[in-house]
Amino acid sequence: MDSVTRQQCHFDNEIQKAAKNTTLTMDALKHVSKTKDKTVDPLVVAAFYKFVQLNDLASLQDQIESCCRENNVFGIVLLAPEGINSTIAGPREGVVKVLDRIRQDSRFSDLQWKESFATKQPFRKLRVRLKKEIVTLGVPGVDPTELVGTYVKPADWNALISEPDVFVIDTRNNYETEIGTFKGAVDPGLDSFSQLPSWLEKKIDA
Tell me, letter by letter, the H, E, C secondary structure of 86-109.
EEEEECHHHHHHHHHHHHCCHHHC
In terms of domains, do 114 and 201 share one?
no
- Mean pLDDT to the nearest integer, 162-178: 87
pLDDT, tens digit, for every residue of 100-144? 999 999 999 999 999 999 999 999 999 999 999 887 766 676 776
Q: Give the CATH number for residue 17.
A: 3.30.70.100
Residue 121 shares a structural domain with residue 188: no
**119 & 29 share domain:** yes
Which residues form the domain of 192?
167-205
- The number of CA neighbours under 13 Å toward the Cβ of 194 is 11
Which amino acid is present at 31? H
Judge if 53 and 124 occupy the same domain: yes
Are residues 173 and 121 part of one domain? no
What is the per-residue pLDDT for 3? 42
Region 42-70: mean pLDDT is 96
What is the crossing angle of helices 3-19 and 154-162, to 10°?
A: 100
Q: Are residues 53 and 106 located together in one domain of the fold?
A: yes
Is 33 in contact with 89 (CB distance < 8 Å)? Answer: no
Q: What is the pLDDT of residue 51?
A: 92
Number of domains in the chain: 2
| Residue at 96 is within a domain | yes
Q: Which of the four pLDDT bands, split at 50, 70 and 90, describes residue 2?
A: very low
The answer to whether the pTM exceeds 0.85 is no
pLDDT band at 184 (very low <50, low <70, confident <90, very high): confident
Domain termination residue (choose one: 110, 130, 150): 130
Of 85, 106, 130, the domain-final residue: 130
Is the pLDDT at 1 greater than 60, yes or no?
no
> Does residue 138 lie in a domain region?
no
Average pLDDT of span 38-46: 78
Q: Would you say residue 58 lies in a domain? A: yes
| Span 85-111, pLDDT tens digits | 999 999 999 999 999 999 999 999 999
